[in-house]
A and B are shown apart, each in its own frame.
Chain A
């Protein structure tokens, strides 16, 4: 069925064409130094095409949020350019607010707003007209499975539901660039899937999705391309597959240590390791698979480890290699 063309709040009818050309977000030489001398972004250069989900990965304090806040016009770059198609977003931050949607890391201030009301009002503020926004809002409420809370006040929502409402507010009448800063925080595993589906649909419709996360395992499944950032610098960029090329002949041995157990002496065949909680992740050569299993079993026999798993390397291993940090999030289901 062909939907009726909506009319926007300024009276224009019809839909903006999906920006499949000329709508690329270009970030070049972006540098941000805070007043106290901290270099948060160091000459970052990247681009996000329409239809693309682009992930920004990095540990806390890497400069991810600083980057997106400059795109949306909350921070002034120290140097560099940000362009969306022909538009200079640094010179025209008011345009950035119209052309980009932004879900901040913190929750939306919707304590006294009902869920459907918060979503619809945001859509109208973003330029949609009532009936079209209402239709889209109801669709998102259903798609994200937050219908039971449709008429609830924001103050009565759990953190995860509130996060989903924030996502719906940002995407009900989205900008050409949709910036999502840790969108899945607090969201339960089932609704995370629904959220990722909607993110993919946004990109399929032509949005450039800039996704900030430190959840590497989720990012591996969700993004088309990604950049790993640390200490304000771009460490690597590419598709998840291309970034794993270097680790193609490697395996990942995951050992669940006993609670409070120290990291055991590591055999020489362990190339790299990282610990997150009780999870010890080791990268090994394929040829050392048998030896690694023997070692893991010995750890279990000595009550140092509870279990182990051996599998292909993931983006997390690349991330650990690049940043020297362990991803602390649980894998998405």
Chain B
């Protein structure tokens, strides 16, 4: 039986049931620290890759098209690449990180940490957002320098950036936590990344795609993520900003719910 050591003599305590806003907030802060520390070796590399990739894609346009590329194309590209900057960590690297933990059989160790799923997802969102913004800014600076674009930055850029980042992060979280097979998860997010760059009107106008692919993209979030940034950065043509907001919010909410469910799912 237990020895009566007396609680007051212990310099530590047993964890107790917690709930409420204080519990959520302390969980958010500690999970944020956990995520940042867990990725301290990777985050600088991710940011550098983002900067190089963003600048590279923008500059590539001038190498592909001799002389002065069409203004509309340049502005499309300049507003589209930041979408990739903002989703890359959450949508591509995030699921791969989870897949690594699954492959190493250490996924359960983090899954049993006693914090609300929403706080854990919110902390991860904060990390992906912070890691995506430098790449986005770098891309815009390079685009402004190389093509002399005068970005007409609207105050709505802030909610637009937050929305674009949250949708990419939650889609990635849903894939990472929802797909149990690490190999499928890894290949899946790479395929999605390729699909976004090549087959969605993120970096180019929708009318370059066949009608059926345009129809598919209407219900996918990527075209709308691009539209949100384009509308707040370049005042470029956006068909229906309200619809874009709605689609991005719907995808974010659905995927956040799916991710939270998958994190708590019992086999």
Interface residues of A, Cβ cutoff 8 Å to B = 2-3, 5-6, 8-12, 15-20, 34, 49-52, 69, 72-76, 87, 93-95, 97-99, 101-102, 104-114, 117-118, 121-122, 124-128, 132-133, 135-136, 139, 153, 166, 172-176, 203-207
Instruction: From A20, A74, A107, give the contact of B267 (CB < 8 A).
Output: A74
A5 to B8, CA, bound (A): 7
A98 to B31, CA, bound (A): 15
B contact residues, total (Cβ < 8 Å): 50
Instruction: From A34, A125, A126, A153, give the contact of B31 (CB < 8 A).
Output: A125
The segment from B18-26, B64-72, B169-177 found at the interface with A is B18-26
B210: interface (CB < 8 Å): no
A205 to B2, CA, bound (A): 7
A114 to nearest B CB, angstroms? 8
B38 to nearest A CB, angstroms? 5
A317 to B190, CA, bound (A): 54
The segment from B73-81, B103-111, B192-200, B224-232 found at the interface with A is B103-111
CB<8 Å pairs between A and B, sample of 20 = A2-B8, A3-B9, A5-B8, A9-B30, A10-B18, A20-B2, A20-B4, A73-B112, A75-B267, A76-B266, A87-B17, A98-B18, A102-B108, A109-B104, A112-B38, A112-B39, A125-B31, A127-B114, A128-B15, A173-B12
B208: interface (CB < 8 Å): no
Residues in B12-57 with C-beta less than 8 Å from chain A: 12-18, 20, 22-23, 26-27, 30-31, 33-34, 37-42
Interface residues of B, Cβ cutoff 8 Å to A = 1-18, 20, 22-23, 26-27, 30-31, 33-34, 37-42, 101, 104-116, 264, 266-267
- Please count the residue pairs between chain A and chain B whose beta carbons lie under 8 angstroms apart in the complex: 185
Q: Cβ of B34 and Cβ of A121 under 8 Å apart?
A: yes
Which chain B positions have C-beta within 8 A of A73?
112, 266
Instruction: From B3, B7, B34, B39, give the contact of A16 (CB < 8 A).
Output: B7
Known contacts A51-B3, A125-B113, A16 near B14 by CB under 8 Å:
yes
A16 to B13, CA, bound (A): 6
A11 to B24, CA, bound (A): 12
Q: Cβ of A15 and Cβ of B8 under 8 Å apart?
A: yes
Known contacts A6-B12, A20-B2, A95 near B266 by CB under 8 Å:
no
Instruction: From A124, A139, A204, give the contact of B26 (CB < 8 A).
Output: A124
Known contacts A76-B267, A108-B106, A108-B109, A125 near B27 by CB under 8 Å:
yes
Instruction: From A17, A50, A112, A174, give the contact of B37 (CB < 8 A).
Output: A112
A10 to B113, CA, bound (A): 16
A153 to B31, CA, bound (A): 18
Q: Cβ of B22 and Cβ of A10 under 8 Å apart?
A: yes
Instruction: From A51, A117, A132, A172, give the contact of B2 (CB < 8 A).
Output: A51
Which chain B positions have C-beta within 8 A of A111?
38, 41
Q: Cβ of A10 and Cβ of B20 under 8 Å apart?
A: yes
For the complex of A and B, the 5 pairs showing the least CB-CB separation, nearest first, are A51-B2, A106-B105, A76-B266, A9-B26, A109-B106
Beyond A16-B16, A109-B101, 4 additional contacts (C-beta under 8 Å) are A9-B18, A125-B113, A127-B26, A128-B12
B117 to nearest A CB, angstroms? 9
Q: Cβ of B114 and Cβ of A97 under 8 Å apart?
A: yes
Counting chain A CB atoms within 10 Å of each CB, the highest count among B3, B4, B104 belongs to B3
Q: Cβ of B15 and Cβ of A126 under 8 Å apart?
A: yes
Instruction: From A6, A20, A51, A124, give the contact of B11 (CB < 8 A).
Output: A6
A61 to B26, CA, bound (A): 39
Q: Cβ of A172 and Cβ of B101 under 8 Å apart?
A: no
A147 to nearest B CB, angstroms? 18
Instruction: From B7, B105, B112, give the contact of A17 (CB < 8 A).
Output: B7
Chain B minimum-CB-distance residue to A175: B15
Q: Cβ of B115 and Cβ of A125 under 8 Å apart?
A: yes
Q: Cβ of A125 and Cβ of B267 under 8 Å apart?
A: no
Instruction: From A10, A15, A34, A166, give the contact of B13 (CB < 8 A).
Output: A15
B74 to nearest A CB, angstroms? 39
